[in-house]
C-alpha cells in the first residue's frame, strides 16, 4: 500500500505560468515532507521541505503548501521556466521511523517555451 | 564540497552473476542510505547506516543482497546471485545527523541491467 501518492504521472505547463504538483499521503505519523527534483541520469536533488507544524514554506519561485487535515501537499513553481523540466518526487518521513524517506512515484513536469 | 560519489555508473551482467556497487558519502555525514529505484517508481529504501551500524535493513532481500560500511565511511552493496528483477538504478545517499528538513543528498546512481 502506497503511503505517498503522486497521482499525476505528467504535467505540461507553458513557460511563465504556474506549475502545481500534488501529493497525497496516508500515514498520519509523517511529520516532514520534502520535494526532490530529478534530471535524467542524475540522482534526486533536494528542492524544498516543510515541517508538519507549518502550512506553507517558500523559497524563491518554489512554495510548498501543506494541508494536514486533507493529508495533501502541493508544490507551486512560479513562474515556470524550461529548466524546471524534470521529474519531481514528493517524499515524507516520520520521526518514529527515524527519518527514513518514503517517496511517491514522481510527476514529470514539462515546461514549454 | 564533493557530493556523494558512486561507481560504477552503469553495469550490465548476466543473471546469476555477482555484482557490487560502491559509495563514498559526503564527508562528515554519519547517515548513509542505499535506495533502489525501479523504472517509473520512486526510490525505495534498502538499508540505512548510522556510522558503521546498519540500523534499518528491513527492506533488504537478505538471501541475495548484502551491504557493509567499514569504518563508517565508504559503503558497498552486493548482489549475489543477480536476478533479472534486480535491474534498477541503485542510489546511495547520505545525510548529516539532526536536520531532517534537508533530507538526504543523493549520488548519481548505478544503473544495473541484468540480462
**Smallest Cβ distance to B108: which of A42, A95, A97?**
A42
The answer, for A69 touching chain B at a CB cutoff of 8 Å, is no
Is A103 close to B44, i.e. CB distance below 8 A? yes
CA distances A105 to A3, A10, A89, Å, are 11, 11, 7
Whether residues A32 and B100 touch (CB distance < 8 A) is answered with yes
Strand B75-79 vs strand B65-68: parallel, antiparallel, or unpaired?
antiparallel
Over residues A29-56, the mean pLDDT reads: 94
Assigned C-alpha cell, B14: 548476466
Confidence band of B48 (pLDDT split at 50, 70, 90): very high
Cβ atoms of A91 and A102 closer than 8 Å: yes
Q: How much is the average pLDDT of B27-47?
A: 94
Q: Is B44 on the interface with A (CB under 8 A)?
A: yes
Which A positions 17-46 lie with beta carbon below 8 A of chain B? 32, 34, 36, 41-46
Chain B residues close to A91, C-beta within 8 Å = 42, 103
Contacting residues of B for A29, CB less than 8 Å apart: none
Beta carbons of A43 and B91 less than 8 Å apart:
yes
A45 with B101: Cβ contact below 8 A: no
Mean pLDDT value across residues A99-106: 91
Rounded mean pLDDT, B63-75: 93
Rg (CA), chain A: 13
Q: Is B108 on the interface with A (CB under 8 A)?
A: yes
Q: How far is A67 from chain B (nearest CA, A)?
A: 18
Q: Which residues on chain A are in Cβ contact (under 8 Å) with B103?
A: 32, 34, 36, 46, 49, 91, 93, 101
How far is it, in rounded angstroms, from Cα B105 to Cα A107? Answer: 20
- Name every residue whose Cβ is closer than 8 Å to that of residue A20 and which is 6 or more positions away in sequence: A11, A74, A75, A76, A77
Q: What is the pLDDT of residues A60-73, one digit of tens each?
A: 999 999 999 999 99
Q: What is the mean pLDDT of residues B33-58?
A: 93
Residue A55, pLDDT > 80, answer: yes
* pLDDT bucket at B2, cuts 50 / 70 / 90: confident
- Per-residue pLDDT tens over the stretch A83-92: 999 999 999 9
pLDDT at B72 over 90: no
Greater pLDDT, A82 or B103: A82
pLDDT at residue A50 tops 80 = yes
Amino acid at each position: 500500500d502506497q503511503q505517498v501518492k503522486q497521482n499525476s504521472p505528467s504535467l505540461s505547463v507553458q513557460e511563465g505560468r504556474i506549475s502545481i504538483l500534488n501529493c497525497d499521503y496516508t500515514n498520519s505519523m509523517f511529520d516532514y515532507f520534502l520535494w526532490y527534483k530529478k534530471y535524467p541520469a542524475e540522482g534526486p536533488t533536494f528542492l524544498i521541505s516543510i515541517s508538519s507544524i507549518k502550512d506553507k514554506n517558500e523559497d524563491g519561485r518554489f512554495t510548498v503548501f501543506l494541508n494536514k487535515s486533507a493529508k495533501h501537499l502541493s508544490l507551486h513553481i512560479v513562474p515556470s521556466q524550461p529548466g524546471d523540466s524534470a521529474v519531481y518526487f514528493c517524499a515524507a518521513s516520520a520521526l518514529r521511523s527515524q527519518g527514513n524517506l518514503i517517496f511517491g512515484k514522481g510527476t514529470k513536469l514539462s515546461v514549454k517555451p | 564540497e564533493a557530493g556523494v560519489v558512486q561507481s560504477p555508473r552503469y553495469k550490465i551482467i548476466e543473471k546469476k552473476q555477482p555484482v557490487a556497487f560502491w559509495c563514498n558519502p559526503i564527508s562528515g555525514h554519519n547517515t548513509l542510505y542505499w535506495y533502489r529505484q525501479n523504472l517509473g517508481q520512486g526510490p525505495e529504501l534498502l538499508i540505512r547506516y548510522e556510522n558503521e551500524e546498519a540500523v534499518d535493513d528491513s527492506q533488504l532481500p537478505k538471501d541475495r543482497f548484502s551491504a557493509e560500511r567499514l569504518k563508517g565511511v565508504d559503503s558497498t552493496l552486493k548482489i549475489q546471485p543477480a536476478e533479472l528483477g534486480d535491474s534498477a538504478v541503485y542510489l546511495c545517499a547520505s545525510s548529516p545527523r539532526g536536520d531532517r528538513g534537508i533530507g538526504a543528498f543523493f549520488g548519481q546512481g548505478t544503473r544495473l541491467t541484468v540480462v
